[in-house]
């Protein structure tokens, strides 16, 4: 399954929780009847999810399938963009 679902299980769980919450709000018409409460809950859930992604467990791990290797064009552009330091 790790070949299909790239990323951490916690992130997939957050996606499922967010989708379920939005479905619930739409089914009960919370975004129409209790708009203020809906916005507060939506912002709170969004903030918690962003904080979990940024500061959660293993936030410095690589989650791509392949190694990211810069191509030759990017390397040449990086060399051209370096500022020349004039000798004193």
Q: Which tens digit of pLDDT belongs to each residue from 52-72?
A: 888 877 766 666 666 767 778
Q: Name the token pair of 9.
A: 């299980």
Q: Kindly state whether residue 47 falls inside one of the protein's structural domains.
A: yes
pLDDT at residue 18, rounded to an integer: 87
Does 57 map to a domain? yes
Query: Is there a domain that residue 52 lies in?
Result: yes
77 in any annotated domain = no
In a domain, 71, yes or no: no
Tokens coding 28: 């009960």
Q: At 21, is the pLDDT very low, low, confident or very high (cuts 50, 70, 90)?
A: confident
Structural domain count of the chain: 1
In the chain, what is the greatest distance between 2 CA atoms, to the nearest angstrom? 72
Residue 86 located in a structural domain: no
SS3 (DSSP) at 60: coil
| pLDDT tier for residue 29 given thresholds of 50, 70 and 90 | confident
pLDDT at 25: 82
Query: Is the model's pLDDT at 47 over the cut of 70?
Result: yes
Q: Give domain status of residue 25, yes or no.
A: yes
- Domain of residue 57 covers 1-63
Q: What is the pLDDT of residue 85?
A: 67
Using the structure block, give the residue that is written with the tokens 């962003």. Answer: 50
């Amino acid at each position: 399954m790790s070949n299909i679902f790239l990323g951490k299980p916690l992130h997939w769980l957050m996606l499922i929780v967010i989708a379920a919450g939005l479905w619930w709000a739409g089914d009960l018409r919370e975004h129409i009847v209790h708009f203020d409460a809906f916005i507060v809950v939506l912002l709170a859930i969004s903030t918690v999810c962003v904080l979990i992604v940024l500061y959660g467990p293993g936030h410095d791990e690589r989650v791509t399938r392949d190694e990211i290797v810069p191509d030759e064009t990017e390397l040449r552009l990086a060399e051209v963009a370096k500022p020349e330091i004039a000798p004193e």
